[in-house]
Amino acid sequence: MKAEIRKTASRFRHTIGKYRVQRGKQCKSCSGCVVACPHGVHFKAGTRMGTPKDYLCVGPDACKSQDCFCVEKCPNQALNVVINPQIKALGDFRWTADLLMSTWYQAETGELPTVDLEYRTGNSGGGFDKLRFRFPEKPLQAIPADEIDTSIELNKRGDNSHRITIAIPLYQGGMSFGSVSDSTMVSRARAAMLWDTFGCTGEGGYPEFLYPFDQQMITQVATGLFGVKEETIQRVRIVEFKYAQGAKPGLGGHLLGDKVTERVAKMREAVQGSALFSPFPFHSVYSVEDHKKHVDWIKAMNPKALVSVKVSTPADVDMVAIGSYYAGAHIVHLDGSYGGTGAAPDIAKKNIAMPIEYAIPKVHRFLVEEGVRDKVTLIASGGIRTAHDVLKAIALGADGVVEGTAGMVALECTRCSSCESGRGCPRGIATTDPELAELITVDWGAQRVYNLYASWRKQIVGVLQQLGMRSIRELVGRTDCLRHLDYN
């Protein structure tokens, strides 16, 4: 499959858009609106006009200023354009309706939306949403886009393990077999492969249908040790220890009974229908020395594998990071408290551990002070929603990021938060129900995620150009390129 952007529309009849275009009974099917509209909103279907594709509508102001406003051009005054009232019921403070709609648009087209949607920041009132870039008046050097390097190195220790470079500064977060559908897993894995980066199996075992992606897969060793066998550890080039997860720090994975189907139970060596709560913590790790034992155990089975340690963000996250480095980790992966999950207690999502924006600079500074920063790949996740969040995370001190929810939104997740119960996700993403899982085909899913990453990469290149940087690696820790709206 050739890797390129391909327009991949919604699986649903109506995509939710910012504007609503109404056509009344006065319409005489004259197609005047088709001629007027440069965005493809209006079209003729047979002898009548089709239902307007209102999610493409850029709104009255833009069209009035360009003298192509369909409402004014209609000879029968049959048209009206208003803000879509449905968007008031869509989204939340972190993933606003605008972010959801602009991510859907990017997943469809690989381009930034033409509609005036806010695609860079959400409405959370803090953290990334209060950070902005400080661009020089004119960049010191004008660099052509195709000369800008967005790749990052995952093994900075310089030891005998694999040397791995990924083409974009992100890889995918683990979503376990049992929490999401097969087609979701394969779609994401394929998109990761096409972008020369990595997917992750999550903690639920390594299903057969992911074997073709072995070389671009990370497998997870988590506290439940589901599906952890010598054979799976030896399949991959990167092994991830999941010590904790940002959305529910201090608590293990939750897979509620309805989602433990026969296949899931078999993979996890558990009982069908019985809820699975992973213990916390690893009951074999109570100190940094135990942690080193863990790392050594993996290295004994797969000597060349890179070891990633995924941790939450407690007050002493910097100590955890340095301890992980000394235990032999190549990648320290900080998962901030506002990250996604298949199921977590609401109280844990909100209250436990710190947001990623505080953890990144803390760990970056500490590793610099300890003199080991250039030997650690610092990866940040937990609420990375847009290309601008990616850039800000790197400017604060990370080498790269892991994304999770954004990829799901590309697959048309609406953030309804009902992933965990019953048959799971009505959109076919976070479900193991065989009927619902059919809602996503891999060709469609992989292309949507591919398109999103393509759009993100373009934005990353654009910002680097404005900053006059040739490579994403120059941005690491460059807080001088940022400003915070609450500070001078």
Residues 31-90 that bind another protein (CB under 8 A): 51, 82, 85-86, 88-90
Selected binder of another protein within 21, 36, 148, 244 (CB under 8 A) = 244
Q: Is 180 helix (H, G, I), strand (E, B) or coil?
A: strand
Neighbours of 473 (CB within 10 A): 16
- Check residue 344 for interaction with another protein (CB under 8 A): yes
- Check residue 417 for interaction with another protein (CB under 8 A): yes
Selected binder of another protein within 316, 369, 374, 438 (CB under 8 A) = 316
Considering just the CA atoms, what is the radius of gyration of the chain in Å?
23
Tell me the residue type at 244.
Answer: A
Q: Is the Cβ–Cβ distance between 15 and 84 less than 8 Å? A: no
Task: Quickly list DSSP for 46-108.
Answer: TTEEPPP-GGG---HHHHHHTT--HHHH-TT--EEEEE-GGGGGS--SSS-HHHHHHHHHHHH
**Least separation, in Å, of the C-beta of 119 and another protein?**
19
**Least separation, in Å, of the C-beta of 393 and another protein?**
13
Enumerate residues 275-304 that contact another protein by CB under 8 A: 277, 279-281, 285-288, 290-291
Nearer to another protein, 269 or 346 (CB): 346
Residues that contact another protein, how many (by CB under 8 A): 103
Q: Is the Cβ–Cβ distance between 399 and 152 less than 8 Å? A: yes
**Least separation, in Å, of the C-beta of 391 and another protein?**
16
Give yes or no for a cis peptide into 279 (omega within 30° of 0).
no
- Check residue 220 for interaction with another protein (CB under 8 A): no
Task: Report the distance separating Cα 40 and Cα 44, nearest Å.
Answer: 11
For residue 208, what are the contacts with CB-CB under 8 A and spacing of at least 6? none
- Check residue 427 for interaction with another protein (CB under 8 A): yes
Interface map 126-165 toward another protein (x if CB under 8 A): xx-xx-----------------------------------
Q: Is 354 helix (H, G, I), strand (E, B) or coil?
A: coil
- Segment lying near another protein (by CB under 8 A), choices 262-270, 272-280, 440-448, 454-462: 272-280
Task: For residue 307, give the H/E element and its range.
Answer: strand 306-311
- Check residue 176 for interaction with another protein (CB under 8 A): no
- Check residue 271 for interaction with another protein (CB under 8 A): no
Nearer to another protein, 116 or 290 (CB): 290
Interface map 345-384 toward another protein (x if CB under 8 A): xxxxxxxxxxx-xx--xx-------------------xx-
Tell me the residue type at 228.
Answer: V
Closest CA to 416 of 340, 303, 315, 488: 340
- Segment lying near another protein (by CB under 8 A), choices 36-44, 158-166, 184-192, 340-348: 340-348
Nearer to another protein, 70 or 395 (CB): 395
Task: For residue 165, give the H/E element and its range.
Answer: strand 165-166
